[in-house]
Chains A and B, each alone.
Chain A
């Protein structure tokens, strides 16, 4: 007990010092809350988006990077040249970039990072991003040449992912707990179960960011999230988990609410190999049995954009195909009868933890019941979902938000958990991957959207909204979430 008292006294002193200091200077620190705590801090060896939410473009940077509007811009690579046939990328690196430990970042580190990610024993969760790389060669300390086995229109986009950041070879041992990168912020401390602190990197190669310190706090419980924000314990909450509470923040002049878009297509995933879902009529019947607006209103309290295919509505190539699956229970019943199931059928509906799935699932089960489809709700944890649904493919229906950007390609993988096997679509994707002409790519992508929409592969529900709450004085926050990231350099306090 004595220890506590002493510490309390010391931190009391520190606090009053901070109060005095605060009066003299503008606020240059921020506390950002999010729902999930990262399991560790290596973005190149885990799928957890929470890792990227803390470290991406703050601690670690890649050759290219995402901006808030979803565009891809140069990062550690100052510029690049692409060979005529589209298979050789020569990256020119920025000069004078150092890792947080003071060592220089050069072409060797790029080669090391990319080779590590695509190695046999690599633990990279998105190894497919690097699959097309044939070799990585160091030309000189600031030039690196990447050779692909075939042209890949997505390569620069792939290199912007958090899984493709450049890491320092000598820091790999401790990267999970003490990450060393090139970014504008250095790792400060991590109190597990509570917070991670990042500090401004005074030796940063680019512009100095406005904030000197950022604290990420992890509050997974929606009620606690609401209370922490209301009590102004935190300055920002990104990915606010309780849409039902947003009107209260909107009504309060102390706060601002940011509603943006994410890459999360929320879908009623359907096991295309399991009877009766192998019959397109049955899938079409389900599509007409579902009232998207009721789901958006009931589960998300109105936040979310209806989708009719597996594609983000804010993407210029998006086609609105919601008309293919308009809410029409009578038509659904007729289609079921045509499929030989006039009395409906029984199936299972596996629901992972997020509220879009749990709440959305209750609504969908009720809507399906209206047309005679009895879906038994099975609530599962993510680990169980991965095991039973994703790996075991032992499910009828499930609800999940596919948050990877530009992931329509999963429909070309017949072994993927919803098991859609359409050679025409697979061929289309192969063509798309080797096409670099933008107009041609748009056309192909729209064709792809139509195929899966008209095949009713899955029930297309809505695009997940990016919901953030912040104190009124915070500016520069990303409203949209093109990738999991909290771009601290963009954030500042208004006067």
Chain B
């Protein structure tokens, strides 16, 4: 296990632990307003200070982690559960009209400016965490479809697959029994990376007001709320910003580390 993996896994589990802990304990009620105590800088009572409504920032960051993780995780779930079968199908029917259709569909989704579409989706169906998940999830589908197809194609040339075909197994069964387990590592690595991109995307959507709605805290909205106050209360922007950076950094390091650990030859598109 590399240093990257240890550091990344450490950072990520810290965030996950904070999120889990917030279900049972936070220093203060994250939604409780205390306007006379507003805009305190970090101190003994409020470790991360208070926001413009006097809410405890530490509690909000903890619960915000929950929001970020939930949105990003579910978006990756959407991407995987639709993208992987599509990719497997395309690879199994390589060169057919179905393959062509799936890959062109992929290109089409890729061609849409994702943020603009996310904004459109939320404009149509209303802002909220669920729509943010869908908006981010849609753009995860082609990512998983493409890498699954790529990896599966090379597997189809391998001898153990040929053997299975000779044994009379159908394409669907081969995909499920032989191809999928062999692309799993790749999917875990890519999933980690999409997860971190999802955290960033959620922050961006919340920042423009299209993510989770108040009173549910979200790091992106905390930044948006802080924007006019950075000049006299910089901690309002610094703390949620650092939370995002450390989480994404942790996930990326973990992704890189996992890749090296699981299979040093694996190559995953980063962009």
Q: Which residue of A lies closest to B31 (CB)?
A: A366
Interface string of B19-44 (1 = CB under 8 A from A): 00000000000011101001000000
Q: Which residue of B lies closest to A369 (CB)?
A: B31
Residue pair B53, A362 in contact (C-beta under 8 Å): yes
Q: Which residue of B lies closest to A296 (CB)?
A: B35
* 168-219 of chain B: CB within 8 A of chain A: 209, 213-215
Residues of chain A within 8 A of B213, CB atoms compared: 377-379
- B residues adjacent to A (C-beta < 8 A): 31-33, 35, 38, 52-54, 123, 126-127, 209, 213-215, 227-232
Given known contacts A294-B35, A366-B32, A377-B213, A222 and B227 CB-to-CB distance under 8 angstroms = yes
Chain B binding surface SS class = loop
30 contacts between A and B (CB under 8 A): A222-B227, A223-B227, A223-B228, A223-B230, A226-B228, A244-B52, A244-B228, A248-B231, A248-B232, A297-B35, A298-B35, A298-B52, A298-B53, A298-B54, A359-B52, A361-B214, A362-B214, A365-B215, A366-B31, A366-B32, A367-B33, A369-B31, A377-B213, A377-B214, A378-B213, A379-B127, A379-B209, A379-B213, A379-B214, A380-B126
Assembly CA distance A223 to B207 (angstroms)? 14
Residue pair B35, A226 in contact (C-beta under 8 Å): no
Assembly CA distance A381 to B215 (angstroms)? 18
Q: Which of B31, B53, B228 has the most C-beta atoms of chain A within 10 angstroms of its own C-beta?
A: B228
Q: How far is the CB of A423 from chain B (nearest CB, A)?
A: 37
Given known contacts A298-B52, A363-B53, A377-B215, A222 and B31 CB-to-CB distance under 8 angstroms = no
Interface size on A, residues (CB 8 A): 23
Q: How far is the CB of A220 from chain B (nearest CB, A)?
A: 13
Q: Which residue of B lies closest to A383 (CB)?
A: B123
Assembly CA distance A362 to B209 (angstroms)? 14
Q: Which residue of B lies closest to A221 (CB)?
A: B227
B229 contacts which of A244, A366, A369 (Cβ < 8 Å)? A244
Residues of chain B within 8 A of A475, CB atoms compared: none
Residues of chain B within 8 A of A378, CB atoms compared: 126, 213
Q: How far is the CB of B188 from chain A (nearest CB, A)?
A: 36
Assembly CA distance A297 to B37 (angstroms)? 11
Given contacts A226-B228, A377-B213, could you give 19 more A-B pairs where the C-beta distance is less than 8 Å? A223-B227, A223-B228, A226-B231, A248-B232, A298-B33, A298-B52, A298-B54, A359-B52, A362-B214, A362-B215, A363-B33, A363-B35, A366-B32, A366-B215, A369-B31, A378-B126, A379-B127, A379-B214, A380-B126
* 354-384 of chain A: CB within 8 A of chain B: 359, 361-363, 365-367, 369, 377-381
Residues of chain A within 8 A of B38, CB atoms compared: 298
Nearest 3 interchain pairs by C-beta: A242-B228, A298-B35, A222-B228
Residue pair B52, A245 in contact (C-beta under 8 Å): no
Residues of chain B within 8 A of A294, CB atoms compared: 33, 35
Q: How far is the CB of B221 from chain A (nearest CB, A)?
A: 10
Residues of chain A within 8 A of B214, CB atoms compared: 361-362, 365, 377, 379
Residues of chain B within 8 A of A297, CB atoms compared: 35
Residues of chain A within 8 A of B31, CB atoms compared: 366, 369
Residues of chain B within 8 A of A359, CB atoms compared: 52-53
Residues of chain A within 8 A of B54, CB atoms compared: 298
Residues of chain B within 8 A of A361, CB atoms compared: 214
Q: Which residue of A lies closest to B126 (CB)?
A: A378
Q: How far is the CB of B197 from chain A (nearest CB, A)?
A: 25
Q: How far is the CB of A398 from chain B (nearest CB, A)?
A: 15
Q: How far is the CB of A183 from chain B (nearest CB, A)?
A: 35
Assembly CA distance A79 to B231 (angstroms)? 53
Assembly CA distance A226 to B232 (angstroms)? 12
- A residues adjacent to B (C-beta < 8 A): 222-223, 226, 242, 244-245, 248, 294, 297-298, 359, 361-363, 365-367, 369, 377-381
Residues of chain A within 8 A of B229, CB atoms compared: 244
Assembly CA distance A129 to B214 (angstroms)? 39
Residues of chain B within 8 A of A381, CB atoms compared: 123
Assembly CA distance A378 to B213 (angstroms)? 7
Residues of chain A within 8 A of B32, CB atoms compared: 366
Residues of chain A within 8 A of B230, CB atoms compared: 223
Residues of chain B within 8 A of A363, CB atoms compared: 33, 35, 53
A245 contacts which of B123, B209, B215, B228 (Cβ < 8 Å)? B228
Q: Which residue of A lies closest to B127 (CB)?
A: A379
Q: How far is the CB of A368 from chain B (nearest CB, A)?
A: 11
Q: How far is the CB of B136 from chain A (nearest CB, A)?
A: 19
Assembly CA distance A133 to B230 (angstroms)? 54
Residues of chain B within 8 A of A366, CB atoms compared: 31-33, 53, 215
Q: How far is the CB of B131 from chain A (nearest CB, A)?
A: 12
Q: Which residue of A lies closest to B230 (CB)?
A: A223
Assembly CA distance A298 to B231 (angstroms)? 18
Residues of chain A within 8 A of B53, CB atoms compared: 298, 359, 362-363, 366
Q: Which residue of B lies closest to A293 (CB)?
A: B35
Q: How far is the CB of B48 from chain A (nearest CB, A)?
A: 19
Assembly CA distance A363 to B214 (angstroms)? 10
Q: How far is the CB of B209 from chain A (nearest CB, A)?
A: 6
Q: How far is the CB of B155 from chain A (nearest CB, A)?
A: 47
Residues of chain A within 8 A of B215, CB atoms compared: 362, 365-366, 377
Q: How far is the CB of B232 from chain A (nearest CB, A)?
A: 7
Assembly CA distance A380 to B209 (angstroms)? 10
Q: How far is the CB of B252 from chain A (nearest CB, A)?
A: 29
Assembly CA distance A380 to B54 (angstroms)? 25
Q: Which residue of B lies closest to A222 (CB)?
A: B228
Assembly CA distance A244 to B231 (angstroms)? 10
Q: How far is the CB of A242 from chain B (nearest CB, A)?
A: 4
Q: How far is the CB of A351 from chain B (nearest CB, A)?
A: 9
Assembly CA distance A265 to B38 (angstroms)? 26
Assembly CA distance A363 to B55 (angstroms)? 11
Residues of chain B within 8 A of A379, CB atoms compared: 127, 209, 213-214
Q: How far is the CB of B130 from chain A (nearest CB, A)?
A: 13
Residues of chain B within 8 A of A223, CB atoms compared: 227-228, 230
Residues of chain A within 8 A of B231, CB atoms compared: 226, 245, 248
Q: How far is the CB of B33 from chain A (nearest CB, A)?
A: 5
Residues of chain B within 8 A of A365, CB atoms compared: 214-215
Q: How far is the CB of B126 from chain A (nearest CB, A)?
A: 7
Assembly CA distance A242 to B228 (angstroms)? 7
Residues of chain A within 8 A of B209, CB atoms compared: 379
Q: Which residue of A lies closest to B128 (CB)?
A: A378
Q: Which residue of A lies closest to B209 (CB)?
A: A379
Assembly CA distance A359 to B35 (angstroms)? 12
Assembly CA distance A362 to B35 (angstroms)? 12
Residues of chain A within 8 A of B126, CB atoms compared: 378, 380
Assembly CA distance A226 to B230 (angstroms)? 11
Assembly CA distance A365 to B229 (angstroms)? 23
